[in-house]
């Protein structure tokens, strides 16, 4: 089971952390796969008008309960936007002051994906401007699990999503560019409707 490290108590302690309800888990996975599908089919367009290249090897994501449990445990420390030291997994963080639980996971996912809309493909590599989006779009990443906390001190909701396989390797592309679904991993096949391998 993948677990987070146990960091010291964070700046925003006094939290109520939990895993997302099943409906929000479904929404989070759907948001990730919708984003990945649009990229895979070469249909994603940035605000600048730049159209992203299609992906040959974009895998379909599924929910990972072990990652979700570890994400919830880290969220419960209310560390602010400070990444954990969890090894072997990718990690996206999101914080909103006020707000509500309903739709929180979808809101976080949309915020991360919007980095591509704002900044464009940035050579399809990890950058500090687009790092959340590249982790969401990392073709070899096939599982995601998220948790959240309500941090009492500053009345904020804090979201953690962890990913396996880990993405955002420096100097590597988020996905291979070319004909949609033309290089799906072994033991997977192409869904011609959404352009994802699974």
In a domain, 4, yes or no: no
Determine, yes or no, domain membership for 38.
Answer: yes
Greater model confidence, 117 or 101: 117
- Report the distance separating Cα 44 and Cα 64, nearest Å: 26
Contact call for residues 148 and 18 (beta carbons, < 8 A): yes
Structure confidence at residue 15 (pLDDT): 55
Burial class (CB in 10 A: 0-12, 13-18, 19+), 178: middle
Considering the domain boundaries, does residue 10 fall inside one?
no
Rounded (to 5) percent helix, strand, coil in the chain = 30, 20, 50
CA–CA dist 166, 135 (Å, integer): 8
What whole-number percentage of the chain has pLDDT above 90? 87
Q: What is the pLDDT of residues 38-84, one digit of tens each?
A: 999 999 999 999 999 999 999 999 999 999 999 999 999 999 899 99
Q: What are phi and psi of 173, to 5 degrees?
A: -80, 150
For residue 148, is it within any domain? yes
The number of domains in the chain is: 1
Residue 112 counted as domain residue: yes
The confidence score (pLDDT) of residue 12 equals: 42
Could you tell me the CATH number of the domain that includes residue 53? 3.40.33.10
Beta bridge partners of 173: 125
In a domain, 156, yes or no: yes
Question: Would strands 143-151 and 15-19 be described as parallel, antiparallel, or unpaired?
Answer: antiparallel
pLDDT of residue 8 exceeding 70 = no
Pair 34, 43: CB distance under 8 Å: no
Residue 139 maps to a domain: yes
Length of the chain, in residues: 198
Residue 98 lies in a domain: yes
Query: Can you give the residue range of the structural domain that contains 62?
Result: 15-197
Q: How would you classify residue 101: left for phi > 0, otherwise alpha for psi between -120 and 50, otherwise beta?
A: alpha
User: What is the reported pTM?
Assistant: 0.90
Enter the DSSP assignment of 140: T
């Amino acid at each position: 089971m993948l677990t987070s490290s146990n960091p010291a108590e964070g700046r925003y302690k006094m939290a109520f952390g939990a895993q997302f309800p099943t409906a929000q888990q479904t929404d989070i996975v759907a948001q990730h796969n919708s984003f990945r599908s649009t990229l895979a089919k070469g249909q994603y367009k940035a605000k600048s008008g730049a159209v992203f290249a299609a992906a040959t090897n974009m895998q379909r994501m599924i929910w990972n309960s072990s990652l979700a449990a570890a994400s919830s445990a880290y969220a419960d420390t209310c560390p602010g936007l400070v990444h954990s030291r969890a090894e072997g997994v990718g990690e996206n963080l999101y914080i909103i002051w006020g707000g509500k639980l309903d739709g929180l996971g979808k809101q976080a996912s949309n915020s991360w994906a919007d980095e591509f809309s704002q900044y464009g493909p940035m050579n399809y590599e990890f950058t500090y401007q687009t790092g959340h989006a590249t982790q969401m779009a990392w073709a070899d990443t096939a599982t995601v699990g998220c948790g959240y906390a309500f941090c009492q001190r500053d009345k904020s909701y804090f979201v953690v999503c962890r990913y396996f396989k880990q993405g955002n390797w420096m100097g590597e592309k988020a996905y291979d560019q070319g004909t949609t679904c033309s290089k799906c991993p072994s033991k997977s096949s192409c869904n011609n409707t959404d352009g994802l391998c699974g």
